[in-house]
Structure 1
Amino acid sequence: MTDKTIKPYTAKQEKFGAWLISCIGRWQVKVYEWTGGRLWNKFLGAPVAILTTVGRKSGLVRKVPLLYLMHGDSVVMTASKGGMSKLPVWYHNVKASPEVTIQVGNQKKRYRMREANEQEEVQLWPQLEKMYPDYREYRLRTADVRRIPVLIFDPLN
């Protein structure tokens, strides 16, 4: 696949993709938590953590499996949603309430989210793409539609 053949998803592709991500995500959270992160802790070779947020409208606890990159004591995640045109719901939740819990393996810790600045983003994207090469495609797919935010979760003491 070349850069010129990567185009935004159609509305139909996004509807199916969002449904699939949601279904698999719910199962992955359950399995991950039941096994203390021993199972379903990878996606296509990249590490997975469980992000717990509070719904900005519902006030309910929301959990989502996401790829992550450790950067010192901080956790780095992207709001890529598989290269779809809209930001994921969890992104809006964490923007509204930036204190979250992240489970890596059997360890749960509290973090505060902040968006990477331009310099941090330039530094982190190559590391993110090395960890999960499809991030490159996601950026190309969304280039004319939206920016994929890079989020840094700093530990709370």
Structure 2
Amino acid sequence: MAASPTPPPLINGSSGRRIKDSDRRFIRVLTGTHRRILAAGSGRILGRMGGHPLLILTTTGRRTGRPYSTPVIGIPSGADWLVVASNGGAATQPLWLRNIAASAQVTIRHANQAEPFHARILPASERSQRWPDLVQAYPPYGKMQAKTDRELPVVLLTRTHPA
């Protein structure tokens, strides 16, 4: 197997939506509530966005070693999933992406099933090939990309065992 290209550096942008500390706290509460609703309802309640399933992505904290879970839009890619680290078009990378850069082993909960996955941040060449399809699948990604000067990373989630 050939070595995969080095993933892009996780550089924050200089322009994009700014998230105030007070908004960050609100977002954290809202995300936690949404995550609990998704888990309790097995994804049947508030489990889709733009026609795509919301997955609960669990990463390992790069500093704490604790699990962190957040809902993300999952775009199917065969047996795998693609997720975009949009952070709503903010200038900063989402924290879950930094956790993936430190540890690629993640868990995805979809419906009522949790499975281990390997996360890979796509290099620029592979990202550019997939980007038009992602924007077609979920048009707000194009608007989010236009808000910031950072390139929104795309992550490929691959099952670590056969489905």
Alignment pair present for 1:30 and 2:50? no
Residues 8-63 of structure 1, C-alpha deviation per residue, up to 9 Å, x if partnerless? Answer: 32x4xx21553443222101110111111111111344321000111111111110
SS of 1:128's partner is helix
Residue type of the partner of 1:8? Answer: G
1:79 to 85, 107, 115: 85
State TM-score, norm by structure 2. Answer: 0.81
- The aligned runs of 1:8-157 (5 Å cut-off) are 8-9=16-17, 11=18, 14-15=19-20, 17-143=23-149, 146-157=150-161
Deviates more, 1:96-105 or 1:39-48: 39-48
Deviates more, 1:78-87 or 1:124-133: 124-133
Could you tell me which runs of 5 or more consecutive residues in structure 2 were left unpaired when the two chains were aligned: 1-14
State TM-score, norm by structure 1. Answer: 0.84
Taking only aligned residues, the RMSD between alpha carbons, in angstroms, comes to 1.7
CA gap 1:84/1:124 in 2 versus in 1, 3 angstroms: same
Shift of 1:104: 1.4
SS of 2:38's partner is helix
SS of 1:64's partner is strand
Residue type of the partner of 1:58? Answer: T
Aligned residue pairs, count: 146
Deviates more, 1:17-26 or 1:130-139: 17-26
Alignment match, 2:5: none
Deviates more, 1:123-132 or 1:64-73: 123-132
Deviates more, 1:105-114 or 1:83-92: 105-114
Deviates more, 1:115-124 or 1:92-101: 115-124
The structure showing larger relative contact order (alpha-carbon pairs under 8 Å, at least 6 residues apart) is: 2
Question: Which structure has the highest helix share of the two?
Answer: 1
Provide the C-alpha distance between the structure 2 equivalents of 1:106 and 1:119, rounded to a whole number of angstroms.
Answer: 35
